[in-house]
Amino acid sequence: MKLHTFSLCLFACTACAFDIDDSLDRLDSALTLSAFQDNLRARLSGTLDLEIYHFEQPAPGLINSDIDTLFNPRLTLFLDAQIGSQIYFFAQSRLDRGFDPSDHGAQVRLDEYALRVTPWEDGRLTVQVGKFATVVGNWVPRHLSWENPFINAPLVYENVTPIQDKSAPLSPLDFIYGPFYYEKYAFNPVIWGPSYASGVSVSGRLGKFDYAVEMKNASLSSRPESWNVTEQGFDNPTFSGRVGFRPNEAWNFGLSASEGPYFRQEAEPTLPAGRDIDDYREFVLGQDASFAWRHLQVWVEFYEARFQVPRVGNADTFAYYIEAKYKFTPQFFGALRWNQQLFGDISNGYGQNVRWAEDLGRIDIAAAYRFTPHTQLKLQYGFQHETTGPGDDNHLLAAQFTIRF
Amino acid sequence: MRRQGLLWLNAICALFPATVLASATAEGRVELPKSHSAPVQAKRYEIVTKAGVLSTQPPLAVVYLDGSFPQPASLPTKEVAQKDLTFIPAILPIQLGTKVEFPNLDDAYHNIFSYSPAKRFDLGRYRPDERPIPTQVFDKPGLVILRCDIHEHMRGLILVLNTPYFVMTDTNGHFRLNGLPAGHYTLKAWIDSRTTREKPVELKSGQTLHVDFP
């Protein structure tokens, strides 16, 4: 009976959605402009996401909320402009409750803007300047709500660790137990989402290989506020790169690396005497692979990261995930993702080696239905379990309705 | 002498199939909408991008004779290719029951799909060298909007018609539809998803009817 009711609801939504689908196609045409004999082309597009999260406290990942059921709407606008055949510009602006889901008030941000120059037609060299997503790994191309099979990011992009970028720990014990005393937003993951830091990148393709290197103003673990060039300059840049190998359209393999200081300027007074921000760096090595054929897509990423922590030493962690998406019908797909993050040992200052954070694993399962090419409903369940320490669990239920225009 | 000539003409005409003799022609012009804006490709998260711009397809109309006609035993297979990140042709009129191939001629994946009520399908991702080339049979009349799940800007149209008598206009809107059966019919001009103009016509054997769709 419930299935019957659900089917009726889906049919009703589909019928309604088809009425507005043609209008959204026309809106798309109306928001595409060209001038100077088509030498200047611009397109305004966007998504409206309505998200609901239900979880246990403390909120998982980068969700920053004291309430257990969170409504998180988000309007995203994109501008894509092609100037001649070699210059491309894009920008992304958002109106939401924060870069990551939160119970805060509304805010408007310019999250991305970049100018890209491609001098040769075969794409051997591309130079990009601005504020844009990192070239590291293979998650970035699907991080937006329409392309992402899930509602949240893989664990390594959102699991908050004891690393802090605003102040240095006073001791190893302060480092390990800090997360119990400070607000979660004081801490950082290994990679903060798509890391829209500011800088310049050079990329291209040479036969079956592609390459990309970038110099950014902030490390991969840095918080969204640090990505703005007005907030953090290029005094302590981060260098990242990726080399990819694509034997054919189905397979793609990549090796990534990143290195740069992770403390913000305000942390300087808390560092040991005679040391500065440049002395404490984040090193990341990544391996990624993806496969796609017909209705199946699979992605994996492995990351080994090292943080140089004042008064502690090197804090190492290893994280990976494997993610698969399968389209069961033209409009319905399912996705499954297994994530794990393991932490190394550090000296606690009393002659003992202890794990600097609890190992954890998370399984995410999602299902999505596309009513039309412009509307999509996603449902997700995530179960997170600490495999060491107290063994805390967390269940996440989330729903996301997206209108794309 | 003149009478003898007419007899000869009658004899020659008797050798031709009746359908040719009975065929009529309709020609004219369809007022086309103004050109579409040039498409823009979103390249935000592609590490490697090529230079160049997407081609702009001029608007075209499909003129067809509406009516009840017998279905042929077999129909030729048609093709909509994906090349340079566009559908070629951008609009394809076909007769009901036609099989269409979708070859990928780019060096990148495409994922062609349609959620149109006339045909709902998703071909998934396939390589350019894969054989057999993915196909679909269109067995319901109506408009099928083709899209690519990877390249958001890609749009193509297949107009599935329940008639064997149809033709595309040229870029100026001119059309000529040959081999039509004599009788009373409705001539229609499909211009876009919301605009189809129609006119009742009386077709006579051997005559050319001029019809404009302003």
A38: nearest CA partner in chain B: B38
Residue B133 in contact with partner chain A when CB distance is under 8 A = no
The answer for residues whose C-beta is within 8 angstroms of residue B5's C-beta and 6 or more apart is: none
Judged by CB atoms closer than 8 Å, whether chains meet at B47 and A242 is answered as: yes
Amino acid at B96: L
Distances from the Cα of A369 to the Cα of A2, A378, A379, angstroms: 17, 7, 9
Q: Would the pLDDT of A130 be above 70?
A: yes
Q: pLDDT band at A179, cuts 50/70/90?
A: confident
Q: Which of A205, A61, A195 is nearest to A136 (CA)?
A: A195
Report the pLDDT value the prediction gives residue A13, as an integer from 0 to 100. Answer: 54
Judged by CB atoms closer than 8 Å, whether chains meet at B39 and A204 is answered as: no
Q: Would the pLDDT of A264 be above 90?
A: yes
Judged by DSSP in three states, B2 sits in helix
Q: Which ranges of A213-256 would DSSP assign to H, the alpha helix?
A: none
Q: How far is residue A370's CA from residue A296's CA, in Å, rounded to a whole number?
A: 17
CA A224 and chain centroid, separation: 11
Question: Which of B42, B115, B127 is closest, CB to CB, to A80?
Answer: B42
Question: Which of A29, A120, A249 is closest, CB to CB, to B37?
Answer: A29
Report the pLDDT value the prediction gives residue B8, as an integer from 0 to 100. Answer: 52
Residue B16 in contact with partner chain A when CB distance is under 8 A = no
Question: Which of B40, B51, B114 is closest, CB to CB, to A41?
Answer: B40
- Contact indicator for A384, A362 with CB cutoff of 8 Å: yes
Give the N- to C-terminal CA distance of chain B in Å, as an integer.
Answer: 48
Residue B36 in contact with partner chain A when CB distance is under 8 A = yes
* Residue B55 bridge partners (DSSP): none
A328: nearest CA partner in chain B: B122
Report the pLDDT value the prediction gives residue A220, as an integer from 0 to 100. Answer: 98
DSSP code string of B102-171: --B-SSS--EEEEEETTEEEEEEE--TT-SSPPEEEE-S-EEEEEEESS-TT-EEEEEEES-S-EEE--T
**In the numeric block, which tokens belong to residue A309?**
């922590």
**In the numeric block, which tokens belong to residue B110?**
């495409």
Min Cα–Cα distance to chain A from B58, Å? 13
From chain B, pick out residues whose CB is under 8 angstroms from the CB of A122: 50
Q: How far is residue B51's CA from residue B44's CA, in Å, rounded to a whole number?
A: 14
- Contact indicator for A108, B74 with CB cutoff of 8 Å: no
User: Best of A31, A34, A297 to disrupt the B interface by mutation (most B CBs within 10 Å)?
Assistant: A34
Q: Would the pLDDT of B26 be above 50?
A: yes
Domains in chain B, CATH or no CATH each: 2-213 (2.60.40.420)
Min Cα–Cα distance to chain A from B152, Å? 10
Query: ipTM score of the complex?
Result: 0.87
Residue A251 in contact with partner chain B when CB distance is under 8 A = no
Q: pLDDT band at B1, cuts 50/70/90?
A: very low
Q: How far is residue A365's CA from residue A395's CA, in Å, rounded to a whole number?
A: 12
In this predicted model, what pLDDT tens digit does every residue of B154-180 receive, in sequence order?
999 999 999 999 999 999 999 999 999
Judged by CB atoms closer than 8 Å, whether chains meet at B122 and A38 is answered as: no
What's domain A31-404's superfamily in CATH?
Answer: Porin (2.40.160.10)
